Amino acid sequence: QVQLQESGPGLVKPSETLSLTCTVSGDSVRSGSFFWSWIRQPAGKGLEWIGRIYSSGSSDYNPSLKSRVTMSVDTPRNQFSLKLASVTAADTATYYCARGTSFFGEDFWGQGTLVIVSA
Amino acid sequence: DIQMTQSPSSLSASVGDRVTITCRASQSIASYLNWYQQKPGRAPKLLIYATSSLQSGVPSRFSGSESGTDFSLTINTLQPEDFAIYYCQQTYSPPYTFGQGTKLEIK
């Protein structure tokens, strides 16, 4: 069974960089069949797709966040990561990592991790 | 970006009812439309991918269809566990945008 688990600080100061890692089990991030994505959800609001990365390192980011987002893949550790720079209170949300394909959608998700941006 | 307009934003129904949620894409997305269910405090769960294909383990009372750029999720014979928020998502072209969500509540 594929499982994903987000980890990282739950509190980040304004203007700093949010850093999260997603650890994958039951599959390999090296797999070329899937992309690995990040989605976020402010409390009580809808889902926002942040971006995706393939094992090759090829990535696509949401234009609304593109200037601040960096994603990477760590194949030896079977992890992928998200960095979001210059955060503000508007970046406070639950962040999810997921596995997906364009045809099959995002089929496995992590449980989510709440990140609060506050001084 | 492709905009996904989902309706209604909320819906009240009773156990045993049949309900339909719709999602309209701002441009053609072929059949790259997925539906997710989210319960409080939980991650979204994939129900349907590619417009009408049922994800493994999802009950057959869930179904999806399309008509041009309009897509629908139908739930037949609502069960108590179906009361949740439902989202559509296009995976035709990044960024993979979601609809605003439909909250399905018990009447």
pLDDT 10s digits, A44-96: 999 999 999 999 999 999 999 999 999 999 999 999 999 999 999 999 999 99
Peptide bond into B95 cis (omega under 30): yes
Instruction: Give the pLDDT band of residue B68 (cuts 50, 70, 90).
Output: confident
Terminal-to-terminal C-alpha distance of chain A: 39
d(CA A51, CA A108) in angstroms, rounded, equals 15
- The whole-number average pLDDT for the span B47-74 is 96
Instruction: Give the pLDDT band of residue A31 (cuts 50, 70, 90).
Output: confident
Write out the two tokens for B104. Answer: 């399905």
Q: Closest to B50 (Cβ–Cβ): which among A37, A103, A109?
A: A103
pLDDT 10s digits, B93-106: 999 999 999 999 99
A34 reaches B (C-beta below 8 A) = no
Question: Is B98 within 8 Å of A100 when comparing Cβ atoms?
Answer: no
Average pLDDT taken over every residue of chain B: 97
Of B65, B91, B31, B55, residue with least CA distance to A105: B91
Residue type, A56: S
d(CA B21, CA B34) in angstroms, rounded, equals 13
Query: B25 with B3: CB under 8 angstroms?
Result: yes
User: Nearest C-alpha of chain A: how many angstroms from B31?
Assistant: 8
Residue type, A32: G
Query: B7 with B73: CB under 8 angstroms?
Result: no
Alpha-carbon torsion, ordered A7, A13, A16, A20, to 10 deg: 10
d(CA B11, CA B106) in angstroms, rounded, equals 8
**Set of chain A residues whose Cβ sits within 8 Å of the Cβ of B96:** 37, 49, 52, 102
Average pLDDT taken over every residue of chain A: 97
Question: Is A47 within 8 Å of B94 when comparing Cβ atoms?
Answer: no
Q: Closest to B46 (Cβ–Cβ): which among A49, A102, A105?
A: A105
- What is the residue-wise DSSP string for A42-78? -TTS--EEEEEE-TTS-EEE-TTTTTTEEEEEETTTT
What's the pLDDT score for residue A32? 85
B68's CB contacts (< 8 A; 6+ apart) are none
pLDDT 10s digits, B39-52: 999 999 999 999 99
